[in-house]
Amino acid sequence: MAPGRLGNAVLMRGAVALLALAAAPASPVALPSGSTYVALGSSYAAGARIGAPAPAAPMRCGQTVNNYPRLVAARLHLDLVDASCGGATTEHLLRAWDELPAQLDHLTAATRLVTVTIGGNDVHLVSDLARAECTPARDGAASHCGPPPAPTAAEWTRLGRNLAEIARQVRHRAPRARLVFVDYLDMLPARPCASIPYDAAGLARARATVRHLARVTAAVARRERATLLRAGALSRGHDSCSAEPYAVGHSDTGASWHPTAAGHAAIAAALIRLLRDTS
């Protein structure tokens, strides 16, 4: 090969290699015992009513002692800062929420692991699931609620924008941290049952929201070079109508439309495997 062509070929291979490196996922970060782990998110991370309240946590946030962040921290001997809070939206990770600081304010340069489970409240997932419970009404009477409205295009756009900003803020505030987006467990079965009494159209609307939320989360994780744990995939065979549900619909004892203790344990086990396999 002529020298000029050889040089061009070398440059081309170098350029291709650099492009491949830029497209590759961020390198895993080792997690020695005692590393700081910050958990961010909504009630799907906090563990609403699945166990005893977590000591020293804000009462209104609903954190429990057996939520997935605490299970992971205990198993891997990590120093946990649990900032998750029931009712939180992406805005509450980015900015203060009444007396609570922005959840991202808990990050420092010493943080080595960050998990994020957020977005359902941005598209009113839980409130709409509860509203759809009376379509049809549980006692068979005519519904007075009507179908919940679908999230608007503006709400989906804002969610994606805020998730991306959260990822960028994590990189800025905790540059040595492993960032893992943990999406939402899926409670919705193929057909209605006692705990999911929707008609077929209601189930289809709810499932569309759940799946769209998972797609938005996955797209942001991919673009921002974060790790994604597809918790929704763990739900297969464990929906609200199954013998061992990972999330429940209507509940008279736990938190309706939320993960169960078994669901949090499944997420914790999957997250631990993910961290160990890629570190």
Peptide bond into 259 cis (omega under 30): no
**Secondary structure class of 114 (helix, strand, coil):** strand
Instruction: Report the pLDDT value the prediction gives residue 191, as an integer from 0 to 100.
Output: 85
The C-alpha atoms of residue 14 and residue 22 are separated, in whole angstroms, by 12
Find all residues with CB under 8 Å of 61, minimum gap 6, and list them.
46, 84, 85, 86, 100
How does residue 27 score in pLDDT terms, banded at 50, 70 and 90? very low
Kindly report, residue by residue over 196-212, the tens digit of the pLDDT: 877 788 888 888 999 99
Kindly report, residue by residue over 37-74, the tens digit of the pLDDT: 999 999 999 999 999 999 999 999 999 999 999 999 99
Q: What is the DSSP string of 36-94?
A: EEEEEESHHHHTTTSSSBPTTS-GGG--BTTSHHHHHHHHHT-EEEE---TT--HHHHH
How does residue 80 score in pLDDT terms, banded at 50, 70 and 90? very high
Instruction: Report the pLDDT value the prediction gives residue 243, as an integer from 0 to 100.
Output: 93
Average pLDDT taken over every residue of the chain: 86
Residue 152 CB neighbour total at 10 angstroms: 10
Please state whether 214 falls in left (phi above 0), alpha (psi between -120 and 50) or beta.
alpha
Find all residues with CB under 8 Å of 95, minimum gap 6, and list them.
102
Q: Quick one: how far is CA 270 from the chain centroid?
A: 13
